Amino acid sequence: MLSYFSNPQRFDGLARRAIPVLGVLTVLLLAAGVWLSFFGSPPDYQQGETVRIMYVHVPAAYMAMALYAALAGASFVFFVWRHALADAAAEVIAPIGAVFTVLALVTGSLWGKPMWGTWWEWDARMTSVLVLLLVYLGYMALRAALEDAQQAARAGAVLAMAGVINLVIVKFSVEWWSSLHQPASVIRFDGPTIHASQLWPLAVMALGYTMLAAWLVFYRLRSRALIQRARQTERRKLQAARQAQSTEGGLT
Amino acid sequence: MSGLASVFAREARLAWSGGGGPAGPAAFFLAAITLAPLAIGPAPEVLAAAGPGLMGFAALLSVLQSAERLYGDDFADGTLDLYALTPMGLPLLCLAKTLGQGLATLWPLPAIALAGGLMYGVPVQASLMLAAALLAAIPALVLLAGFAGALAAGVRRSGLLIALIAAPLMVPVLIFAAGAGRSGFEGDERALANLGLTAALSLGAIALTPFGIAAAVRSRLG
Amino acid sequence: MSGLASVFAREARLAWSGGGGPAGPAAFFLAAITLAPLAIGPAPEVLAAAGPGLMGFAALLSVLQSAERLYGDDFADGTLDLYALTPMGLPLLCLAKTLGQGLATLWPLPAIALAGGLMYGVPVQASLMLAAALLAAIPALVLLAGFAGALAAGVRRSGLLIALIAAPLMVPVLIFAAGAGRSGFEGDERALANLGLTAALSLGAIALTPFGIAAAVRSRLG
Amino acid sequence: MTTALADLPAMPALLPAALDVAGLSLSRGEVRLIADLDLALAPGDALLLTGPNGTGKTTLLRALAGFVRPDRGAVTHEGEPADTIGWLGHADGLKPNETLRQALRFWAGLHGTPRHAILPLLRLLAIDALIDRPAGHLSRGQQRRAALARVALTGRPLWLLDEPAGPLDGAGRERLADLVGWHRGRGGIVIAATHQVLDWPGAKTLALRAAA
Amino acid sequence: MTTALADLPAMPALLPAALDVAGLSLSRGEVRLIADLDLALAPGDALLLTGPNGTGKTTLLRALAGFVRPDRGAVTHEGEPADTIGWLGHADGLKPNETLRQALRFWAGLHGTPRHAILPLLRLLAIDALIDRPAGHLSRGQQRRAALARVALTGRPLWLLDEPAGPLDGAGRERLADLVGWHRGRGGIVIAATHQVLDWPGAKTLALRAAA
Ligand code: HEM
Ligand SMILES: Nc1ncnc2c1ncn2[C@@H]1O[C@H](COP(=O)(O)OP(=O)(O)OP(=O)(O)O)[C@@H](O)[C@H]1O
Ligand SMILES: Nc1ncnc2c1ncn2[C@@H]1O[C@H](COP(=O)(O)OP(=O)(O)OP(=O)(O)O)[C@@H](O)[C@H]1O
Ligand SMILES: [Mg+2]
Ligand SMILES: [Mg+2]
C-alpha cells in the first residue's frame, strides 16, 4: 500500500480523482449539517439556543486532535519507512490542523461567554487545547527554520511524534483536574450519553469537517507536487542552457 | 541616510528569512502567558492582579530571548569585523541594525498582550493601556538587549550573561510599562503618566545606547 | 560505564569553565523572582498566592535559557559529528551529556526557590515542598530542553524555537511541580502526590528522552 | 621528524578495516553530485578526493560516515561505522575553553586509547608546547593540528579527513604525511578531500568532476 | 578568463591608498609575536605574509585593520581605516539564509558601489550561476569566492585578506590572482596571509618567523 503510492504518477492519479469527490461531499455534508443544526434539532432544555454553537465547536475540537494524530502518524511512517509522501502529508496537515485548533478555541470561547459568563477560563481542557496550538506552531516553526529539506523532514518527524503526549493531555485533562469543561459524552467506552436529536446534527457536521480536512489535504498535496515538478523542469532547462553555453568556451 | 535604511531593511529581512520573523517571539510570548497560569493556578483574582505584570515580564523575556543572536551571529560569522569598517560609523549602524531586527520581530507583542490581558480577566481599558505601554517600551527594551548582546557576543552561554547584564537595565522600563497596565486596571489616573515615562525611556535609549553598543562591539574585536 | 561518567564529567567541566557553571542560571533565576514582584506589584496576598507558581515558571525559563547552547555549540564546532561516531551509542551519550550540563548548572535552583518562597511570604513548609518539587523536576526539564535544543541546534534564533518546542512538552512537569508547592501552600494533602508524580515524570524522561534526543541529533547531521 | 615518529607509543591494534562502495549516488538539493560510484579500499590504502569547488567532496565524505543518506547504492564497512571511523570535518570540534590536554584526554578515554599516547602525538605534530593552552587561544593551523591528533587518538582504522591540510604550513603538511604513513603502516585506511598537493606514497586519487 | 576580466565594469575610482608601518610590535598573551616591524606600501603593491602556523599572520592583519592594539609602533593609513579597508577574515561574513544576490547588493549599497558591478565580479569568480542560492547551501570554496566578491564590492583601496586561497581549487586560485591583478592595476594595495603559493607578479613577501 505504501510502496504503491511511492510512485508520484500514481498518487497524482488518485488525487486528481479524489479532489472533486471530496469537494462535493464537503459541500453537501456541511450544508446538511448546518440545516440540521439550526432547524433539525431542538434548543437545549438547559442551554437554550446557544447549544447550536456546539455543532461548530465540538467537531472543530475533534478535528484539531484528529489532525494532530494524522500528523504524528504520517511522521511515524516517514521516520520508519522514509516515505516521501508521508512527509509531504505531514507538512501539509500541520497548518490545516492549526486552523481547526484556532476554530475550536474561538468557538469555545464564544460559547463560554453565555454559558460561564467569561470568554476565557484557565481550565484544563481549554488550556491544553491552547497548548496543542503551540505544538502545531512549534512544528511549523521548526520546519520553516531548517533550510535543508531533508533535515526539516526528519527533525519535524521526530518532534511530531514527541508531541503526541499533548493529545493524551488534552483527552484526559478533564478527568485529571476537576474542570469547568464538559467531560467527554460522545466518545466514551460505555457509549454516547448524548440525546439522539443532538447526536445526528453533530455526526453530520463532524463528517463534513472530516471531508473538508481531507479535501484540503489532498488539494495541497497535489499542488505541492505540481509546483515541485515545475521547478524541476525549470532547473533542467537552465542546466541544459548552461551546458550549451559552456561548450561554447565561455566560463570554465 | 540611505545606508541607515538599507541596514535596517537588511536586518529586518534576515530576521524574517532565517527565524520566521515575528512568528518566533509571538509564539514565545504566547507560550509564556499560557504556561504561567498553569503554574500559578486558575484563581481569577490572582490572575487578573498578576496579569499586567506577568505580561510585561514575558515581553521582557521574549526580547531577551532574541538578544543572543542579535550580535552573537555577526560575531561568529565575521560580519562584526565588516560592520566595524563601514563608512556610516558604528553607532548609527548599530542603531539601525538593532531597531531593524527588533521591530521586525516584536511588533505583534502589543496585540497579543491585549488578547492575553483579556484572557487573564484584566478589563478592556486596562488591557489597552497595557498594550500601548508595551508598544512604547519595545524600542528601549530592544536597544538595551542589543547593548548586552554586543558585550556578550561570542561568549559561551552568552544568553545568560545577556540576561544578567540587560535585566537590571530594563527594570525601570518594566516598572513603568507594567505600572501603566496596573494603574489602568486599578482605575488610576497615573496610568497616562506611566505611559509617558515609558515612551521617554525609549527616546532616551535611542539617543544614548547606540554609543554604548558601538563601544561594546569595538571591545569585542581585539 | 566509564564512558558515561567521562562524558558527564566533561560536560559539567565545560559548563563551569566557559559559562561560570551554576552562577548564570542562579543569577537568572534570582533576577526573575526579584523582578516579578516589581512587575506584579507588592500586594502580599497576591504575591504569596502567585509565589510557588511563579517560582516554578521561573525555573522552567532558566532551564530554557541555557538550552540553546546545550547542542547549538556542539553543532557549530563539529562536535556533534564526533559524538555520533562514539562507541557508547548516541542515546546514552546524550543522556550523560544533557544531565552533566544540566545538573552542573542548575543545582542551586531549589535552594534559591526555598529562600524566594520565604521572601514572597509562602509558609516554611510549603516553601520546602516547593524546593523538593523543583529538585524532582529538574532532570525532566533539562532533558526536555535538551530534546528541543537538539532539534533546533544551529538554527538562527534557535532560543525562541527551543522555547516554543519545549514549553508544551514541559507542561505536565510544570503543573505537578508548581502544584506541589501550591497545594503545600493551601495546606492540601495532595502535595505529596504531586511531588511523587513530578519524580515519576523525571524518571520517565530519563528512560525515554535519550532516544528522542539521539533521533533529533541524527536528523540534524544530514 | 622521523625521530618523533619513532617515539609514537604502541597503541592498541586497529580493528580490521575495509570499505566497499557500490553504485553510490548522491545529491544535494536537486542536483546529482555523484553517480554510480564504485570504490574498494583495503588496509593500508589512501585515497585523495580532489576536484573543483562544489563538486561534492564534503558530501561524499559525509555519506561515507553515514551522515548523509545516499539516493542509491550502498556503503559497506567492515564492522559498524560507529566503531571504525575517525572523523575530521571542516570544523575542528574543539571547545574554545578547553585546553588540549583536557580535550585529548577526554577523547582518548572515550575510545579506550591509553593516555600516554597523547604527548608523543602532539610532539609529532609539533604542538606539544601548547598542551595547556585553551583551544580558543590557538591559531588556525594549530587548531587543525590538534584536531588531527584527536583523530589519531580515536584508534579507529578508517580516517575520513575533509581538507586536513587547508590551514597547515609546509612543515605541518610533512608532519601530516608522517602521521598518515604511520596509520597506514598499522593497517589503517585514509580518505582525504584536498585542494593541496599531498605527497602520500601510493595514494590513489579520485578526481570529482563538476556535475553536468 | 581574461575575457571575464575585461568584462569588469568601470567602478568608481579608488581613494588614494598608502600604508606605513613603523616600529610595530605585537603580542598575544605574553608572547611577543612581532617586534619592530617597518613596512611601507604604495599603490599597486602586493604583500604576501607567510610563515609557519602560529607566527602571527592573523594578528598582524588584525592590527593593520585597527582591531588589535599594538604594544608599540604605529600603523599610518592614507585616510581613515574605516574608509580604506576591505577585509576578509578567516570567517566569510556570510549569512546562511541570505542569497548571494541579497548579500552583495547590501554590501555594494552600503559602500556606494553600483549594483551592476556584482554580476561581472561573480562571473570572474565563476559563481555567477549560484547568485540566487542561500550562502548556507554553498560548498566551502564557493563561500570563499563569494566573500572575495564582497571585498571587491567595497570599492576600498587596501585589501587585507587572511588565507584567501585556503579552500580554493586551482582554477579558483587563478581567478583570485586575476582579481588581485585588476585591483592593483587600479591603484589598490593587497596584503594577504597565505600558506598556498600565490603567483602574484611583483608581490613582496614578508616571512614571519617563530618567536624565540
Ligand atoms: C476555548 C474554549 C474551549 C475549548 C478549547 C474546548 C475544547 C474542547 C475539546 C478539545 C473537546 C473535545 C473533547 C473530547 O473529545 O474529549 C470539546 C468538546 C466539547 N466542548 Fe468544548 N471547549 C471550549 C469551550 C467550551 C464551552 C464554553 C462549552 C459549553 C459549555 C463546551 C462544550 C463542549 C461539549 C459539550 C463538548 C463535547 C464533549 C463530548 O461529547 O465529547 N466547550 N471541547
Ligand atoms: N544544503 C545544501 N543544499 C543544496 N545544495 C547544497 C547544500 N550543501 C551543499 N550544496 C551544494 O552541493 C555541492 C557540493 O557541495 P560540497 O560541500 O560537497 O562540495 P565540495 O566538493 O566539498 O566543495 P569545496 O571544495 O568547496 O569544499 C555544491 O555545489 C554546493 O553548492
Ligand atoms: N587570544 C589569544 N591569547 C593568547 N594567545 C593567542 C591568542 N590568539 C592567538 N594566540 C597565539 O598567538 C600566535 C599567533 O596567532 P595567529 O592566529 O596570529 O597566527 P597565524 O600566523 O595566523 O597562524 P595560522 O597560520 O595557524 O593561521 C599563536 O601562537 C597563537 O597560539
Ligand atoms: Mg568541502
Ligand atoms: Mg591565521
Polymer length in residues for chain C: 222
Q: How many CB atoms lie within 10 A of CB C9?
A: 15
pLDDT tens string A115-144:
777 777 777 788 889 889 999 999 998 898
**Residue E6, Cβ density class (10 Å: 0-12 exposed, 13-18 middle, ≥19 buried):** exposed
Q: Quick check: E188 and E159 in contact, CB under 8 A? A: yes
Q: How many CB atoms lie within 10 A of CB A182?
A: 12
Kindly give the parts of chain C with pLDDT less than 50.
1
Which atom of ligand 1 has the smallest separation from the CA of A64?
10
Beta pairing class for D72-77 and D19-28: antiparallel
Polymer length in residues for chain A: 252
Distance from CA of E14 to the nearest CA of D (A): 31
- Please determine, for residue E211, whether its predicted confidence score (pLDDT) is greater than 50: yes
Check if D138 has its Cβ closer than 6 Å to any atom of ligand 3: yes
Ion ligand 4 nearby residues (CB, 5 A): D 58; E 140
Give the span between the Cα atoms of B55 and C41, in whole angstroms. Answer: 13
Q: Quick check: E92 and E45 in contact, CB under 8 A? A: no
* Residue-level pLDDT at C60: 87
C-alpha to C-alpha distances, E184 to B200, E46, E156, nearest whole angstrom: 52, 8, 12
* Residue of minimum CA distance from atom 36 in ligand 1: A58
Average the pLDDT over D120-125 and give the result. 92
- Please determine, for residue D212, whether its predicted confidence score (pLDDT) is greater than 60: no
For residue E83, the chain B residue with the least C-alpha distance is: B87
* Residue of minimum CA distance from atom 16 in ligand 3: E56
* Residue-level pLDDT at E4: 63
Task: Decide if B34 and A131 are in contact by the 8 Å CB cutoff.
Answer: yes
Phi and psi angles of residue E203, each rounded to the nearest 5 degrees, phi first: -75, 135
Locate cell 559529528: which residue? C81
Q: How many CB atoms lie within 10 A of CB D113?
A: 21
Helix, strand, coil percent values for chain D (each to nearest 5): 35, 25, 40
Domain boundaries, chain D: 3-207
Which atom of ligand 3 has the smallest separation from the CA of E163?
27
Residues with Cβ within 6 A of ligand 2?
A 148; D 28-29, 33, 53-59; E 137-142, 167
Of E28, E53, E169, the CB nearest to D169: E53
Q: Quick check: D208 and D56 in contact, CB under 8 A? A: yes
Which of E27, E71, E92, E97 should one mutate to test binding to chain B, selecting the residue with the greatest count of B CBs within 10 A? E97
State in Å: Cα A181 to ligand 1 middle: 6
Q: Any idea which fold D3-207 has?
A: Rossmann fold (3.40.50)
**Residue A190, Cβ density class (10 Å: 0-12 exposed, 13-18 middle, ≥19 buried):** exposed
* Residue-level pLDDT at B1: 45
C-alpha to C-alpha distances, E15 to E21, E45, E147, E157, nearest whole angstrom: 19, 15, 21, 6
Tally: H helices and E strands in chain A: 7, 0
Check if E62 has its Cβ closer than 6 Å to any atom of ligand 3: no
- Please determine, for residue D194, whether its predicted confidence score (pLDDT) is greater than 90: yes
* Residue-level pLDDT at A4: 60
Average the pLDDT over D136-165 and give the result. 93
- Please determine, for residue A212, whether its predicted confidence score (pLDDT) is greater than 90: yes
DSSP A134-148: HHHHHHHHHHHH--S
Extended strands (E) in E8-141 = 19-28, 31-41, 46-50, 72-77, 85-88
User: Going edge to edge, which strands form the sheet with D72-77?
Assistant: D31-41, D19-28, D72-77
Which of C16, C35, C194 should one mutate to test binding to chain B, selecting the residue with the greatest count of B CBs within 10 A? C35
* Residue-level pLDDT at A17: 87
Polymer length in residues for chain D: 212
Of C6, C84, C222, the CB nearest to D106: C6
* Residue-level pLDDT at A93: 96
Locate cell 463528517: which residue? A207
For residue C217, which of C49, C81, C56 has the smallest C-alpha distance?
C81
Q: How many CB pairs under 8 A join A and B?
A: 35
* CB within 8 Å of chain A, chain B residues 49-108: none
For the ranges A67-71, A96-100, C188-192, which has the lowest average pLDDT?
C188-192
* Residue-level pLDDT at E181: 93
Q: Quick check: C104 and C15 in contact, CB under 8 A? A: yes
CA–CA–CA angle E166, E171, E176 (5° rounding): 60
Strand partners, E19: E41, E77
E202 Rama class: left (phi>0) / alpha (psi -120 to 50) / beta: left
Sign of the dihedral defined by the CA atoms of residues E106, E107, E111, E115, in that order: negative
Task: Decide if C221 and D97 are in contact by the 8 Å CB cutoff.
Answer: no
Average the pLDDT over A220-240 and give the result. 83
Task: Decide if E110 and B7 are in contact by the 8 Å CB cutoff.
Answer: yes
Residues 6+ apart with CB under 8 A from A146: A152, A155, A156, C155
Q: How many CA atoms lie within 13 A of B105 on its CB side?
A: 35
For residue D50, which of E140, E169, E195 has the smallest C-alpha distance?
E169
Average the pLDDT over E178-201 and give the result. 91
Q: How many CB atoms lie within 10 A of CB E204?
A: 12
Neighbours of chain D (3+ CB pairs under 8 A): A, C, E
- Reduced to 3 states, what is the DSSP secondary structure of residue D187? coil
Give the span between the Cα atoms of C78 and C182, in whole angstroms. Answer: 44
For residue C83, which of B78, D89, A173 has the smallest C-alpha distance?
D89
- Reduced to 3 states, what is the DSSP secondary structure of residue B159? helix
E37, E48, E53, E59: which to mutate for ligand 3, most atoms within 8 A of CB? E59
Helix, strand, coil percent values for chain E (each to nearest 5): 35, 25, 40
Task: Decide if C212 and A158 are in contact by the 8 Å CB cutoff.
Answer: yes
Average the pLDDT over A65-83 and give the result. 94
Q: Quick check: C43 and B49 in contact, CB under 8 A? A: yes
Check if D139 has its Cβ closer than 6 Å to any atom of ligand 3: yes
Task: Decide if E126 and A147 are in contact by the 8 Å CB cutoff.
Answer: no
* Residue of minimum CA distance from atom 8 in ligand 1: A61
Neighboring chain A residues of B119 at a CB cutoff of 8 Å:
119-120
DSSP state of E99: B
For the ranges A49-53, D66-70, E93-97, which has the lowest average pLDDT?
A49-53
Check if D134 has its Cβ closer than 6 Å to any atom of ligand 3: no
* Residue-level pLDDT at C21: 65
pLDDT tier at D189 (50, 70, 90 boundaries)? very high
pLDDT tier at A16 (50, 70, 90 boundaries)? confident
Which atom of ligand 2 has the smallest separation from the CA of D57?
21
**More confident of the two residues D3 and E79:** E79
Of B20, B27, B42, the CB nearest to A123: B42
State in Å: Cα A104 to ligand 1 middle: 8
Give the span between the Cα atoms of C207 and D53, in whole angstroms. Answer: 45
Q: Could you tell me if A150 lies within 8 Å of chain D, comparing CB atoms?
A: yes
C-alpha to C-alpha distances, A213 to A93, A133, D123, nearest whole angstrom: 9, 17, 67
Q: Quick check: E146 and E119 in contact, CB under 8 A? A: no
Q: Quick check: D2 and D182 in contact, CB under 8 A? A: no
Dihedral angle of Cα A28, A32, A37, A39, to the nearest 10 degrees: 150
Average the pLDDT over E129-148 and give the result. 90
Locate cell 480523482: which residue? A17
pLDDT tier at A11 (50, 70, 90 boundaries)? confident
Beta pairing class for D204-207 and E189-193: unpaired
Task: Decide if B6 and E67 are in contact by the 8 Å CB cutoff.
Answer: no
Ion ligand 5 nearby residues (CB, 5 A): D 139-140; E 58
* Residue-level pLDDT at D1: 47
Give the span between the Cα atoms of B174 and A146, in whole angstroms. Answer: 34
DSSP C154-210: T-TTHHHHHHHHHHHHHHHHHHHHHHHHHHHHTT-THHHHHHHHHHHHHHHHHHHHH
Task: Decide if A252 and E126 are in contact by the 8 Å CB cutoff.
Answer: yes
For residue A252, the chain D residue with the least C-alpha distance is: D210
pLDDT tens string A140-163:
988 988 877 888 899 999 999 999
Neighboring chain B residues of A130 at a CB cutoff of 8 Å:
34
Q: What is the pLDDT along chain B (222 residues), one digit of tens a residue?
A: 477 788 888 888 777 765 556 767 787 788 888 888 887 777 777 788 778 888 887 888 778 777 766 787 787 778 888 888 877 788 888 898 888 888 888 888 899 899 888 888 888 888 888 899 899 999 999 998 888 888 776 555 555 566 667 777 787 888 888 888 777 666 667 778 888 888 998 998 888 888 888 887 877 776
* Residue-level pLDDT at A247: 45
Q: Which three cell numbers stand for residue E212?
A: 624565540
Q: Quick check: B180 and B191 in contact, CB under 8 A? A: yes
For residue A179, the chain B residue with the least C-alpha distance is: B42
- Please determine, for residue E152, whether its predicted confidence score (pLDDT) is greater than 60: yes
For residue B138, which of B95, B115, B170 has the smallest C-alpha distance?
B170
* Residue of minimum CA distance from atom 17 in ligand 2: E139
- Which residue type, as a one-letter code, is found at position C9? A
Check if D141 has its Cβ closer than 6 Å to any atom of ligand 3: yes
Residues 6+ apart with CB under 8 A from D129: none
Q: Quick check: E48 and E99 in contact, CB under 8 A? A: no
- H or E element that contains C66: helix C44-76
State in Å: Cα D31 to ligand 2 middle: 10
Neighboring chain D residues of C82 at a CB cutoff of 8 Å:
87, 93, 107, 150
* Residue-level pLDDT at E163: 92
Q: Which three cell numbers stand for residue C196?
A: 511523587
